Amino acid sequence: MVSFTTCVYIVLLGFGGLVRSYYTEPYRPQFHFSPQQNWMNDPNGLLYFNGTYHLFYQYNPNGTTWGFMSWGHAISTDLVHWQHLSIALECESDSNGNVLQMFFSGSAVVDVDNTSGFAVPVGKDRHGHVIYSQPMIAIYTSNYPTAHNQSNGVVIRAGQQSQSIAYSNDNGLTWTQYEGNPVIESPPPQYADQYQQFRDPFVFWHQPSSKWIMVASLAMKQILLIYSSDNLKNWTLESQFGPANARFGQWECPSIFPLYLDGNMQEEKWVLLMGINPGGVITASGSQYIVGSFNGTTFVADPSNVYDPTQIPAGSTVFQDFEEISSTFEEIGWNSTGDFAGLGPQNASTVQVWNIEGCLGIGVLTTYLFGDIATGTITSPTFNITNSYISFLIAGGYYPYNPSTAGTPDDNQVSFSLVVGGQIVYSETGTDTEDLVWRNWNVAGYIGQEAYLLVTDVNTGPFAHLHVDEIIFCNTPKNEANWFDFGPDLYAAATYNGLSVPDRTVIGWMNNWGYGQNIPTSPWRSAMSVPRNLALKTINSVVRLVQQPVPSLSSLYTSTLYSRWFTTLPSGETTINVPSPYNTQMKLSVTFKRGSGTKFGVILRSNATDTQETVIGYDFLGQSVFVDRFKAGDNSFVNWQPNPFPGRYVATLPIPSSNTITLNIFLDWSSVEVFDSTGQVAITSQIFPLDASAMVKLFSVGGTTKDLAVTVNGIKSSWTS
Ligand code: FRU
């Protein structure tokens, strides 16, 4: 028999052990939300109610890859410390194990006025009047894998996606599905064939029209449908939006919300935020936003926020559009080697380019010749850089130029690069699509210098080809989209209902469908980004959606662990001492000016020989922030080609008139998020370094960096503190 004292002892030991070891597995995020175990994707039903932030999320209760999708649930009072609750909406199967209903992404609201009729009496006030609950309503996509007849008579087709609702009268702890589900069974008649690709309803209360508004996605059509309702049960289609901007992939998880421009309450604007997969800024998943207006029925994008891919900016010079499809590269002044020797531009329709209209003609430069096996180089004539930007169309497989393997047997690049002074200063690869998309390089810092363009294809593997077209020199960049985050790991971003207009808080899934189910974590897979606050700011006369981590994150900061001013930081690397364990979980802020050098930055999760490192920096010539995870750690969990994981991510950030740049870097055990102080740059990137790689270094390239202030705060674990 176990005595009472032994019992107490075991409990205490168990509890003590639990606290010490809780959330300490390799790569376990310390200040990001992750489920205790199993697979997670999109944040769902973000709702602030009665002082509590609810976070529901796509969750597989049965495994560490996608499946059996349910809504997991956690709550917080500060967006920093999370308490796990039991599953809110759990995947349903029949007695034979056929899955009948998965709960896909959606949103949640509080029905304050009981428009839905789901409220229940909870007591009486002092006058004897009945007080009713304020029900929480979840609006989600019912994904029905198996054809069946519902008990309410609705006939469900296999693979159908419909919009449904469930309600809770106990603050989200338990949920009841509405017996009339689904509330929107099918897309409108003209899109009837899209019944398997109709999902992710975001609902909010629109005060001016006293209606509920829903935006849901026809994912494969890149169309968002806007509905209205008086009671959350009957919905009327009001309008549609799209395709626009990044549109070669599925549009998923849309949301729409107001913000004040530059903090001016008289100037309300509306933002559409959505995921695109594939077709993101790097490869696979990405997030874009569009600013415009919303009148209660229709979203109209600001003209400055929609980019017509067939228009090139006024005043730009076409350097090369590859229309000479019967000439060789040599005849148009270019050079070609290897399998490309003697060849020239090709007819786009014969070489696997998908959006032909994108190439503004018929000709294209391609390395897709005799299939993917062709290798060699194609080089432009030398030119003088005269404009601030070089913009171009690009498509193909993701095989980035990696400076540390270039020219070695491990080189696998299929890249398009800008060479200045004999150095590759910019390089782009495909985004794993055959659709030509616009990309641009800020070359203001190189004006007056000689340069050339270089296509290098050393790869014969799957998708190992590139298409390039319409190379223009311009003074405003030719954009494809407003990217919400310039890294690979921010998807399905969702915002909180229940906060006031200026307090728009967003959480993104910090992963990517391109490799997300393979990341080397166990027993959980995927984390959320840090919650971020959004605002709309006019920057250089363009309206931008800007973001910063929520201020409450600072409650986890330790006192300053390192703080130093460098009037000049010398060229080369300078190791700084950040004590363990905070060398792997910290906020590192740097404020700096250009000295005689060309790049400044920070190396994190590094070892003494720099064979492992995550490099974050600013390029003064390219006027851009970068994150380089080529050597950040494990990427062997991807065992196919192209491997979408390694890479270098770049976001333009013009040098302001103060000449001073500030970057705030949030490092956790398997991620890094970089924000600039204006909020226009966010780069979110997972990393999987060895525990032993924990050195912190500063670097300056090609000369000094000036007036550098470095401050490091550790970030305590939100799970044990
Ligand atoms: C986006 C997504 C959504 C869908 C959910 C399913 O990541 O594909 O469109 O609702 O995941 O888990």
DSSP code string of 498-552:
SS-TT-EEEEEE-S-TTTGGG-S-SSEE--BPPPEEEEEEEETTEEEEEEEE-GG
Out of 252, 277, 511, mutate this one to test ligand 1's pocket (max ligand atoms within 8 Å of CB): namely: 252
* Ranges 3-12, 180-189, 333-342: which has the least confidence: 3-12
Residue 503 annotated among the catalytic residues of the structure = no
Closest ligand 1 atom to the C-alpha of 217? 9
Pocket of ligand 1 (CB under 6 A): 41-42, 58, 69, 104-105, 141, 199-200, 252-253, 492
CATH of span 317-474 = 2.60.120.260
Closest ligand 1 atom to the C-alpha of 106? 10
Closest ligand 1 atom to the C-alpha of 491? 7
* Ranges 349-363, 487-501, 578-592, 641-655: which has the least confidence: 349-363
Domain extents in the chain: 4-26+38-307+486-534, 317-474, 552-715
Confidence category of residue 492, pLDDT binned at 50, 70, 90:
very high
Nearest CA to ligand 1 atom 2: 252
pLDDT digits (tens, 9 = 90+) for 660-670: 999 999 999 99
DSSP one-letter code for 488 = S
CATH of span 4-26+38-307+486-534 = 2.115.10.20
pLDDT digits (tens, 9 = 90+) for 592-629: 999 999 999 999 999 999 899 999 999 999 999 999 99
Nearest CA to ligand 1 atom 8: 252
pLDDT digits (tens, 9 = 90+) for 497-554: 999 999 999 999 999 999 999 999 999 999 999 999 999 999 988 899 999 999 999 9
Closest ligand 1 atom to the C-alpha of 509? 7
Predicted pLDDT at 449: 98
Q: How far is the CA of 233 from the centre of ligand 1 (A)?
A: 23
Predicted pLDDT at 360: 84
Q: How far is the CA of 199 from the centre of ligand 1 (A)?
A: 8
Q: How far is the CA of 42 from the centre of ligand 1 (A)?
A: 7
The tokens for 378 are: 């194609």
Q: How far is the CA of 289 from the centre of ligand 1 (A)?
A: 18
Q: Which residues contact 98 (CB under 8 A, 6 or more apart)?
A: 145, 146
Pairing type for strands 624-628 and 466-474 reads unpaired
Residue pointed to by tokens 């641009």: 440
CATH 2.60.120.560: does it fit domain 552-715?
Answer: yes
Please state, rounded to an integer, the average pLDDT across all residues of the chain.
Answer: 95
Q: Which residues contact 92 (CB under 8 A, 6 or more apart)?
A: 99, 100, 101
Give yes or no on whether 4-26+38-307+486-534 and 317-474 have one common fold.
no
Predicted pLDDT at 13: 38
Which residue type does 83 have? Q
Predicted pLDDT at 20: 57
Catalytic residue among 42, 200, 432, 435: 42
What distance in Å separates the CA atoms of residue 247 and residue 276, rounded to the nearest whole number? 7
Average pLDDT over residues 161-174: 98
What distance in Å separates the CA atoms of residue 540 and residue 542, rounded to the nearest whole number? 6
What distance in Å separates the CA atoms of residue 496 and residue 393, rounded to the nearest whole number? 36
CB 606 within 8 A of CB 693: yes
CB 413 within 8 A of CB 398: no
Q: How far is the CA of 71 from the centre of ligand 1 (A)?
A: 12
Question: Nearest Cα to 321, choosing from 300, 348, 341?
Answer: 348
Predicted pLDDT at 15: 40
Closest ligand 1 atom to the C-alpha of 285? 7
Out of 41, 107, 142, 490, mutate this one to test ligand 1's pocket (max ligand atoms within 8 Å of CB): namely: 41
The tokens for 27 are: 């790569």
Q: How far is the CA of 275 from the centre of ligand 1 (A)?
A: 10
Out of 39, 42, 197, 224, mutate this one to test ligand 1's pocket (max ligand atoms within 8 Å of CB): namely: 42
Q: Using CA atoms of 124, 129, 134, 135 in order, give the dihedral in degrees to the nearest 10.
A: 90
Is the confidence at residue 452, as pLDDT, over 60?
yes
Mapping DSSP onto H, E and C, the string for 408-430 reads CCCCCCEEEEEEECCEEEEEECC
Which residues in 143-156 are b (16+ Cβ under 10 Å) and which e?
Answer: bbbbebeeeeeeeb
CB 112 within 8 A of CB 212: no
Handedness of CA 120, 123, 129, 133 (dihedral sign): negative
